[in-house]
Amino acid sequence: MGVIVDLLRRLDATSSIALVVLLVVAAHVVPWALDARKLRAYPGPWLARFSDVWLAWTASHGHRCETIHELHKQHGPFVRIAPNHISIASRDAIPIIYAHGSDISKSNFYDVFVTIMPGLFNTRDRAAHARKRRLVAHVFSMRSVQAYQPLVLSHLHTLLDKWDGLIAKGKPGVSGIEGDGKWRGAEGRVWFDCFPWFSYLSFDIIGDLCFGEPFGMLEAGKDAAPVVEDTKSGLTLYGEKQPAPIKYHIPAVRVLHQRGAHTASVGVLRPFWRSVMNGALPWYSKGYQASQDLTRMAIAAIARRIAMPAPDRVDILGKLQEGVGDDGKPISSEELTAEAQTLMLAGSDTTGNTLAAVIYYLGGHPECMRKLQRELDDALATESDPVPLYDSIKSLPYLEAVVNETMRLHSALGQGLERVVPEDGLEVLGHTFLPGAVLSVPLYDIHLDTSIWGLDATSFRPERWFEIDSSVANKSFFPFSFGPRACIGRNLALMDIPVIIATVVRRYDFVLEDASKPDVLPVQEGFLRKPEHCRVGVKLREAVGEQV
């Protein structure tokens, strides 16, 4: 590199630019010509044969899953989406690429999620991942999750209070602002975007579970969370006896989406170009700053929790503090932060997205909502509390079908997670891949495969879950990913989502503001697929007086 820089200094401007262009072209064309990993025969976009730019550009525009889905429909199960990356749209490839005991490792895509140090989600070291998983596994055991239930229910009561208040104010012709959102009254309903409210609920629940207190978003109806001034000085607050005064806030929901969009795009580039893009282009710079802001948010919450311990409370941070490192000593402040941040973000973003998607599909399919309401009314006929316990609804078949159908149509994580072929190579469905090649299976494609789910795979129809063979569904439905690196918070999500949906669907009646496309939830994709909005008309059900 030093020789090239010295040569550029000796050349005039025109010659220097020409040499740089030549070197960049050569860096992309020569590997394609050599075809060291024998990937040239795989079809895909022309630019993707030579450069990661095609995938980075596609990801930055928020529709990666849909774009790659169309490529698979055109070319079949194997598509080259980057010079060294093959997307494989087949459920039979999943246990090969993501299975327990496999030597396949994560790609360097995960490095873009690291701020302080690698956590459970983004560590690429297999031994480190195993240790970290042991560290937090007990936190999300079903027994632990059941212990968190009272906290979840208390915040759900707050949501009902907020929505009941909006409905009371939402008289015909009246409009207003509640926190960050606008509402209006018309046609006997109050009309508003429910997606931010579900995000506030999810953040407050995970804040309470992780750090002993909510972020206060739900009560304020506002996207705002406290942060420390900077990461380095923030870490020094751990152990202070008094919580530091809150001086700064960020719109955490919006920042989280900025971070997701940034990592989805910059993560597919080579490490050198990541630094260049983060420093040179404003959109990438903002995304990089978003990652730092979320770390500052986690540090602020941890510092406050340590300064204000609650001996009578059981929370996730307390359980993490009980963990030890490889040396038998308590885990470091940096590792504590990395793990708490991972759990905080994963537990809030995916839940809020899924809740909004359920209401969108039910609002667009009133016959499904009526069927679910009848099931809930029958099962909870003797329940006076509007918020049911998980045990009361966990075995309701139509509720489970509605949630599963939503997570199939709207997988919060739809893109294929990258894995690197090990030194011995790998055979997948009769294709041999050489060491170093990157493979992935897009869950979005698996969940829309008409050979599995039927010709109406793109339609919301919960009844399909009573028709499909359970063994087929188990091999084809992966809303929490697959294998040893699947989502560790699965038990928490499977408790929260049904309870929240059962509560709001039993209490309210929903219709979509625009019901012209009831099966097409408007989505903007970053690393996760996030609804752009979910505008609904809401009113109390006639029988709601019995729940008060």
pLDDT (mean) for 400-416: 94
Q: Is residue 158 part of a domain?
A: yes
Q: Is the pLDDT of residue 499 over 80?
A: yes
Q: Is residue 454 part of a domain?
A: yes
Q: Is residue 415 part of a domain?
A: yes
CATH, residue 277:
1.10.630.10
Weakest mean pLDDT among 11-15, 109-113, 487-491: 11-15
Q: Is the pLDDT of residue 142 over 90?
A: no
Q: Which residue has better confidence, 5 or 129? A: 129
Looking at residue 545, what is its pLDDT?
44
Looking at residue 28, what is its pLDDT?
66
Q: pLDDT tens digit string along 63-77?
A: 999 999 999 999 999
Q: Is the pLDDT of residue 119 over 90?
A: no
pLDDT (mean) for 368-380: 98
Is this structure's pTM higher than 0.85? yes
Please count the residues of the chain: 548
Q: Is residue 27 part of a domain?
A: no
Q: Is residue 148 part of a domain?
A: yes
Q: Which residues contact 267 (CB under 8 A, 6 or more apart)?
A: 109, 110, 111, 112, 113, 274, 527
Q: Is the pLDDT of residue 391 over 60?
A: yes
Q: Which residue has better confidence, 511 or 36? A: 511
Q: Is residue 24 part of a domain?
A: no
pLDDT (mean) for 450-477: 95
**Domain total of the chain:** 1
Other Cβ atoms closer than 10 A to 391: 9
Of 96, 69, 90, 88, the residue nearest 482 (C-alpha): 96
Query: 334 is in which domain, residue-wise?
Result: 35-547
Q: Which residues contact 214 (CB under 8 A, 6 or more apart)?
A: 155, 203, 204, 205, 207, 208
Looking at residue 362, what is its pLDDT?
98
Give percent of the chain with pLDDT exceeding 90: 63
Q: Is residue 342 part of a domain?
A: yes
Whole-number Å distance between alpha carbons of 216 and 226: 10
Cβ atoms of 487 and 346 within 8 Å: the answer is yes
Whole-number Å distance between alpha carbons of 169 and 177: 11
Looking at residue 547, what is its pLDDT?
47
Q: 458 burial class (0-12, 13-18, 19+ CB within 10 angstroms)? A: exposed
Of 323, 413, 348, 113, the residue nearest 209 (C-alpha): 348
Which amino acid appears at position 426 of this protein? L
pLDDT (mean) for 166-176: 92
Q: Is the pLDDT of residue 546 over 50?
A: no
Q: pLDDT tens digit string along 509-520?
A: 999 999 999 999
**DSSP for residue 386:** S
Under DSSP, is residue 250 helix (H, G, I), strand (E, B) or coil?
strand
Q: Is residue 29 part of a domain?
A: no
Q: Is the pLDDT of residue 548 over 50?
A: no
Whole-number Å distance between alpha carbons of 505 and 194: 13
Q: pLDDT tens digit string along 419-443?
A: 999 999 999 999 999 999 999 999 9
Q: Which residue has better confidence, 541 or 123? A: 541
Q: Which residue has better confidence, 285 or 99? A: 285
Q: Is the pLDDT of residue 201 over 80?
A: yes
Q: pLDDT tens digit string along 259-299?
A: 999 999 999 999 988 999 999 999 999 999 999 999 999 99
Looking at residue 240, what is its pLDDT?
75
Q: Which residue has better confidence, 288 or 542? A: 288
| Exposure b/e, 241-261, CB count within 10 A at least 16 = b | eeebeeeeebbbbebbbbbbb
